[in-house]
A and B are shown apart, each in its own frame.
Chain A
Amino acid sequence: DSGVTQTPKHLITATGQRVTLRCSPRSGDLSVYWYQQSLDQGLQFLIQYYNGEERAKGNILERFSAQQFPDLHSELNLSSLELGDSALYFCASSVDPGARTEAFFGQGTRLTVV
């Protein structure tokens, strides 16, 4: 167990809908990363938050948004869902990106858009 909790584990929804994925980082970790992993694909960096503020953005679609709350948990919102959004979504947390420390991954949320 990495200490990073993601909910839900599985999500099936229809095209056009909106979903929210939740991530609770390890105790003490201030930084949260979100990644998308499609079938047989690598880990595509979406966005990073540090202590409530957005720190870096990757290839995140405009239909996607995220935030990190004062208690440090983070949510990834996906709207106007398309079939191609079906993927595993991982979040990872680390103490402080500047400290060059390990990022721990959650178990992921498997999103299926039908």
Chain B
Amino acid sequence: GENVEQHPSTLSVQEGDSAVIKCTYSDSASNYFPWYKQELGKRPQLIIDIRSNVGEKKDQRIAVTLNKTAKHFSLHITETQPEDSAVYFCAARGPTQGGSEKLVFGKGTKLTVNP
């Protein structure tokens, strides 16, 4: 089945710097890669996603890149702000046995943005 590895597990940056979080996946059939942000005690919320037919997607200060050949995708946050501090999860979804799909998450990256 699908396995998603996420690095680093913790990341501390100064306000205004960039942050990069990387994920790799195992199932080459995976075709959808969302990123979620989870603040303490709250539900995960989608911040950006990318589909397998696209190599890069941007939304203001957030961008995601996908390399299907290498089976890895990354989240880039520029001009970080203290409110970006949270746990970020990457995920991959693709076909599993029997034609069903499951959404598998990485273990998360705790991002701290220091003022």
Contact = CB atoms under 8 A, between A and B. Distances in A.
B103 A33 contact: yes
Contacts, number: 62
- Place the interface of chain A in its size category: 20 to 34
B100 A2 contact: no
B98 to A, nearest CB: 8
4 A-B pairs with least C-beta separation: A55-B100, A56-B102, A97-B101, A42-B107
Max count, chain A CB within 10 A of own CB: residue among B36, B43, B89: B43
A41 B96 CA distance: 24
Contact of A48 (B31, B34, B102, B107): B102
Q: How large is the interface on B (under 10, 10 to 19, 20 to 34, 35 or more residues)?
A: 20 to 34
Interface stretch (A17-25, A65-73, A75-83, A99-107): A99-107
Contacts of A14: none
Majority DSSP secondary structure for residues of B touching A: strand
A64 interface: no
Contacts of A55: 98, 100-102
Nearest to B1: A58
B101 to A, nearest CB: 4
Given A90-B43, A102-B49, A105-B44, A43 B100 contact: no
Interface of B: 31-32, 34, 36, 42-46, 49, 51, 89, 93, 96, 98, 100-108
Nearest to A104: B46
A105 B96 contact: no
Nearest to B100: A55
Nearest to B6: A42
Given A55-B100, A55-B101, A103-B34, A43 B44 contact: yes
B93 A100 contact: yes
Contact of A108 (B43, B89, B96): B43
A97 B44 contact: no
Contacts of B43: 2, 90, 105-108
25 contacts: A2-B43, A33-B102, A33-B103, A35-B105, A42-B107, A43-B89, A43-B108, A45-B103, A45-B104, A45-B105, A48-B100, A55-B101, A56-B96, A56-B101, A90-B43, A97-B93, A97-B101, A98-B101, A100-B93, A102-B34, A102-B46, A102-B49, A103-B103, A104-B46, A108-B43
